[in-house]
Copies of this chain bind each other. A is one copy, B any other.
């Protein structure tokens, strides 16, 4: 039989670290941590792992192990950066691929050395770049969505025009607007980009239209290039639907070079229970690693179920030091109302983009006036 070992692993290996939350008694958890070390790397019976570099470097290593609550432990496991192949897909695979199928394991935090981070450009704009683009120095950004699905492109463009006249910074497609017969992509991106441009000429503001390019694999980049050509100010991507690596690819593309906003559609299952990914890692660290400049998620107190502390956990992920990766905007959404802005500001401070969609219609029949009110609120409260 073979399995004699190998010689091309870079030694000494640099390692990246993943903090897992595990549940059970101390003995159970220790056994499960050892199991993760194998499952996420060699996926092979321990007794047959060849001596040498595979056992010493490829197999995950328990770096620390601490109890932090009854029957809950935080375990840090390190992996050789070589195992991630300098690829986002394989990095996510080592972090949580197979063990996503085992109950009671949650990724709390990831810590990546520069030798691994250097493979990812991360957010092109980040908070600072987006503020510069929008001409907003200090206050929270204000953000809305074009909806409902079923309107024509002309109607959506008219909405975009009104929002921009009222001074909304970022006007995005609802994430369900794709390439439907009633609002085909090319038509919509052209009309909405034009509408926002026209409004900017009247107001002197720098509002941007962010168009949803989530769609078939072979269309995403084409739609991004069309967006650039037609004058859209950014793109919206749902990585749960099209993959984190597609978001990275678009964000890193110098031909496109537009701000990227991440939408959480189809990702909720990762944060619904005691298994999965922490809010911090998923909506903060992973979204940022994949190059988004802003991360949309449901705010506390809205029509979804995230708690205040889970939202704080996301904010941390958007700004915690990660090598050269820029901090990005948390974009709390999901049933936010204008009335909830003051309370939310206490949590977020000024480094936030408040996304109010349907709530902006509830204020009154005049969307321009509602938008102005939103802007004034953000200006007043941030002073």
B358–A48 contact, CB under 8 A?
yes
Establish whether residues B215 and A87, one from each chain, have CB atoms under 8 Å apart when the complex forms.
yes
Q: Main secondary structure on chain A at its contact with chain B?
A: loop
In this complex, how many residues of chain A approach chain B with their Cβ under 8 Å: the count is 100
Residues of B within 8 A of A241 (CB): 89-90, 92-93, 97, 243, 245
Task: Name the segment of A129-137, A142-150, A199-207 touching the other chain.
Answer: A142-150
Q: Is the CB of A101 within 8 A of B182?
A: no
Q: Which of A20-28, A70-78, A265-273 makes up part of the contact surface?
A: A265-273
- Residues 82-106 of A at the B interface (beta carbon under 8 Å): 82-83, 85-90, 92-94, 96-103
- Residues facing B in A295-326 (CB within 8 A) are 298, 303-306
Provide the A171-205 mask, 1 if CB < 8 A to any CB of B, else 0.
00011101111100000000000000000000000
Residue pairs across A and B with Cβ atoms less than 8 A apart, 17 shown, are A40-B176, A42-B150, A43-B145, A43-B358, A45-B358, A45-B362, A48-B358, A82-B182, A83-B180, A87-B215, A89-B241, A90-B241, A97-B176, A98-B265, A101-B272, A218-B249, A243-B245
Chain A contact residues, CB within 8 Å of chain B = 1-4, 6-10, 35, 40-45, 48-50, 53-54, 57-58, 82-83, 85-90, 92-94, 96-103, 145, 147-152, 155, 158-159, 174-176, 178-182, 214-218, 238, 240-243, 245-246, 248-249, 264-273, 275-277, 298, 303-306, 334, 357-358, 361-362, 365-367
